[in-house]
Every structure is written in structure tokens, then in C-alpha cells.
Amino acid sequence: MRLCAKQTQASLPLLHSPLSSTVTHPQKGHLFSLTSNTTTAFRNLEQAMRAADARMMGVSVLGRRETVILRHPDDCAAVSRDQETYGKANTGWRHLERWLGRGLVAESDVAHHAAVKEVLLPAFKAASVKGFVPLFAEVGEELADLIEGAAAKDPSKAYDVRNACRRATLDVIGKAAFGFNFGALGYAAARLREGRGVEEGGGGAAAGSAGAVTDAQIGDADCDVIGIFDAVLFPAMILLFELPFPQFMIPGIDGYFKGIEKLDAVIAKIIAAKRVGGPAALEGGDILSFMLKAQAAGNDVITDKQIRDELQVFTLAGSDTTAATLSFALYELSRHPEVQEACAAEAAALLGDGPSRGASSAALQSQMPMLTAVINETLRLYPAATEYVRCTTKDVVLGGYAIKAGSFVLPSPYSTQRHPDYWPRPDEWLPERWLPQNAKELAPHADKAWFPFAQGPRACIGRYFSVLELQTILAVLLRRLRFGRVEGYDAVTCENFTLSTVDGALVLPATRAR
Ligand code: HEM
């Protein structure tokens, strides 16, 4: 672990002075220490940078590549905006080629990425995604049914809302992006009716390393795509670290490859169903239809392979990220009953007896200020992507520090969004900081120190989609349910590709009297 000590611009040193700190990183540990440290490295790094009041910090991963974590908003913005100097080529994404191919998030060729993004952007604009509100509300109701069903069985039993949220967001992405029902919530509801639990697994790193891929028929009601994800995510995260001999070094790597095969089978099935349906099947407003229509119109960027890759990317990027935000929001709401009641009142006033059909994110924001504040604050304290990675294409000086060509630089939403220089009371979950009357005092630098969706040309394409999804599902849930605190329980964060928890996100749900 090394700290980028402040150096004079004149000397332009390429050295970083050593830091003795408690931060552990996979430099020389054996396999078990490696895996456990990797899942909590983001937390240790944030604390070490804060203790040292460091602008950035360098770590060495297995002694291979210099890796620098950034927590200054200007550095994060500079890296995010300049693709020529801070590219995606050579970053760990290429190790996930078998899975994500050259889909948007993994593509390193700037021109190809820009061409694909230009085609897809219209489908993700705020005006386009508002058409999905009825779908978000429908899935929100199904999620509420599942949670309510579990609570009815045993009202005193702590409920892991995280896995339920993962199921909901997977169903949303299936229906909205592909016009396909993964049936993830239906699978859990059926198991609950049979008296068999599916939510006990936790869904964190431990579940990921278990490597269980179901043999269920893909795309049918008894298929558990969440189970496939559990097998894929953890080895995928470790693959990003460029370990030598991954086939021997990474626990669960067989489950990773089998899982990708299964996901590929699901995706082939989804695309085939669309093509068989002819032009009528392309009128559903989903993103796959959008791509197939672009292809039929002669757009040569959208090849069959590109469509397959994007579907893999959307399944990944569009589900666990939003699920993490949703479940952390419910967890924090369970600990802040007064905020929860304010949100429930907003939801009741807005939704009345039915979902707000066709509302835009901006409209919901003005009508649900507290609920929107809850989402912003949850994304601040628990950004699903704690860091994102770029690779320097030449020697650079960033924020006064010299960094060698070929180094990884990681803008860190997690560390920047907890930085005491930019956030008063940084570790407190305080949704009210986002209300206009408090912003000056409690969120004075939000415009530059809050970027959970990244920034610049590689910023998240799904931002409006996911915020609208979160607003709608949270409103539907809070109108029907109250989430109580589980005494003595504090969620422990870890990383399982996206921000996760070691032990789920436990709450005590109860039906609200209406
Ligand atoms: C709370 C939810 C979400 C968060 C916090 C989030 C965060 C991010 C971040 C930080 C990046 C940049 C990654 C990088 O540069 O390596 C990103 C990229 C991306 N996200 Fe999201 N995301 C969310 C939801 C979604 C959704 C719902 C979708 C799709 C429906 C989506 C699709 C994508 C895609 C395709 C990219 C790659 C964009 C590009 O490279 O041009 N994300 N996201």
C-alpha cells in the first residue's frame, strides 16, 4: 500500500512514498486472505485515505500494476472526461470478454463505443423511459406481494430484502429491456408458497463463491437466474484483478463459465422469440426491439454479436446496481422511521389508489422530494459502483502527482462521496441534506462531489431509467408496507462485483393499515 505523497511539479516524480497502514490489499496473501480482503478493500482504502488526508492513494495488486484510487472531485472529473489519456483499454474488463464481449460498459475502442452509444441513447432518454413507469409499478406491486407473503408467515422474522430486490430489478430489466419475463419474483413466490425459502442465501460474496448454478430449464418459471448470477459475479470480480492462472486461482471459476453458458442460452432464447414474432413483436417499446429495428433499418453497428453483448451488459449493469440501491434505501429507512413516514405520506398522496402512470422522473421529483432525497443520499453513502477503472495511456501528472503510463486510475464515488471536505457529517445517512432549503449547508459541493453514475462520455446510460425505477418501486412499497428495524443488526458492506452486504439487508416488514 503506498500513498501518493504531494510532490513538487518541477521534479515530476514517478515514485510514491511508502505508507504504513492497516489497509490490506491482495499483494501477497494466500488465496483465502486475497478473497476476503478484496471484498472489503474499498472500505479500507477510504479509511486510510481519510486518516492520511490523502488526495489519492496507490496500491499494488500482486505487484503487477500501479493502481491509484482517487477521491478529489477534480481528479475524478478529469479522468472521467478524458478518454484519450485515461482509457478503458487494458482495464480488467477485457478479462470478462467471454461474458460481456464488446458491450457498452466493456468496450475500449472509443470510436466504436461512441457509435453504439449514439444508437442506444435515445432509448434511455428521460422522455423515453417514462413509458416504463407502469411496468416499474407492476413489478413493485409484485415485490410488495412477495414481502407481504413472507411477513404474513412469520411477522417476527427478519426478512432479507436484498435478494427480493435483486429479483425485482432483474424482472424489470427483462421486461423493459428485452420484453422477456425472467420470472425471478414469481420463482421466489412459488417457493414461498411451497414452504421452501430462497432468500436465506444472503446473496453476498459468500453466496457467490458457493458456485451453485441451477440445472433448471432457462426462461421457464422454475429457472432461477439469480442463482446463475450468484455463480458468475464473484469469480468475475476476481478476474478483473488479472490473476495468473485464473483457472486454478479463482474459486468458483467453473461456475462462472457454466453460468455464462446458461446466460447465453437465455439470451439466445430471448432474441429468437423476438425474431419469430415478426414486426409486431418489435412494437413493445423494449430496448431489444429498439436494437433489432435499428439493425433492420441497415445500421451496421448493431450486429447480432453486438445485440448479444448488450443484452449481457444490461442484465448485469441494469439489475444488481439498482437492487443494491433499493435494498440499502429500505435498510436505512427501517432505521429512520420519521423519514420513512414522510416518504410514505408522499407516496400515498401521489399514488392514491393506483400507480402514477407515465410520470416523468422530474415530475416525481417535484412531488416526492423526500423520497428523491432518500435515493440521492443512498447513492451517496452506498454507491453501487464504489470505484470504476481507467488505464493511463501515457505518463501523466494528475492533481500534482506523477502517474506512470499503463497504471490503473480509479475515480472512487465511494471515497469522494464520504470526503469530509465536501460533505458535512459525511458518515450520516441524512436525506434532508438534499432538500433545497438544506442543500447549501449540508450538500454544498454536491454538483462535483456526487457522481454515483460516473461522469463524461462513459457515464451510465441507465441513470434516468434506474432513478425512475427506484422512485416508482419505493413509492409502491412504502404505500403498502412499513419496514421496521431489526434490533442489534447492522449491515456489513462488501463487494460482490457491485456493492453488497455480507449478510443481506435485514428488515422487519409489516402491512400498513390503509
Ligand atoms: C443505481 C443504479 C446504477 C448505478 C449506481 C450505475 C452506475 C454506473 C457507473 C458508475 C458506470 C460507469 C462504469 C465504468 O465507467 O466503468 C455505469 C455504466 C453503465 N451503466 Fe449503469 N448504473 C446503474 C444502473 C444502470 C441501469 C439500470 C442500466 C441499464 C438499464 C445501466 C447500464 C449501464 C451501461 C450500459 C453502462 C456503460 C456506459 C458506457 O460505457 O457508455 N446502469 N453505470
- Please write the tens of the pLDDT for every residue from 21-75: 333 333 322 333 333 456 788 888 899 899 989 999 887 765 567 889 999 999 9
Nearest-atom number in ligand 1 for the CA of 310 is 35
* Interatomic CA distance for residues 57 and 52, integer angstroms: 10
Beta-carbon contacts of residue 180 (< 8 Å; ≥ 6 apart): 174, 219, 270, 273
| CA distance linking residue 218 with residue 262, whole number of Å | 7
Domain 115-381+454-511 fold is Cytochrome p450 (1.10.630)
Closest CA to 139 of 169, 162, 159: 169
pLDDT at 436: 95
Distances (CA, A) of 263 to 30, 219, 225, 228, 232: 31, 10, 8, 8, 10
pLDDT number for residue 355 = 66
Could you give the CA distance from residue 270 to residue 411 in angstroms, rounded to a whole number? 35
User: How far apart (Å, rounded) are the C-alpha atoms in residues 183 and 287?
Assistant: 19
Is 460 annotated in some ligand binding site?
yes
CA distances to 27, 34, 273, 390, 409 from 66, in Å? 11, 17, 46, 12, 8
The candidate with the shortest Cα–Cα distance to 114, out of 456, 462, 464, 463, is 456
pLDDT digits (tens, 9 = 90+) for 390-405: 999 999 999 999 998 9
324-353 burial, b for 16+ CB within 10 Å, e for fewer?
bbbbbbbbbbbbbeebbebbbebbbebbee
Is the Cβ–Cβ distance between 256 and 235 less than 8 Å? yes
Give the binding-site residues of ligand 1, using a 6 Å CB cut-off: 104-105, 117, 313-314, 317-318, 321-322, 325, 383-385, 388, 452-454, 458, 460-462, 465-466
pLDDT at 322: 97
How large is the C-alpha radius of gyration of the chain?
22
Model pLDDT, residue 192: 84
Rounded Cα–Cα distance for residues 78 and 55 (Å): 14
| pLDDT at residue 345, as a whole number | 95
What topology does CATH give the domain 2-100+386-447? Answer: 3.30.43
Tell me, yes or no, if the two domains 2-100+386-447 and 115-381+454-511 fold the same way. Answer: no
Give the three-state DSSP class for 226: helix
Backbone CA torsion sign across 371, 105, 315, 465 = positive
Number of H helices, E strands in the chain: 22, 14
CA of 482 to the centre of ligand 1 (A): 30
> Residue 97 corresponds to which cell in the numbers above?
470478454
Identify the residue whose cell numbers are 417514462.
Answer: 130
Distance 315 CA to ligand 1 centre (A): 11
For atom 17 of ligand 1, which residue has the closest CA? 460
Which ipTM value was assigned to this complex? Answer: 0.99
Residue 273 backbone phi and psi in degrees, to 5? -60, -40
Burial of 231 from C-beta contacts in 10 A (0-12 / 13-18 / 19+): buried
Average model confidence (pLDDT) for the chain? 84
CA of 105 to the centre of ligand 1 (A): 7
Share of the chain above pLDDT 70, in %: 85
pLDDT of res. 365: 76
313: which 3 cell numbers? 451488459
- Where the chain has pLDDT below 70, the residues are 1-38, 61-64, 197-223, 353-357, 514
All structural domains of the chain with their residue ranges: 2-100+386-447, 115-381+454-511
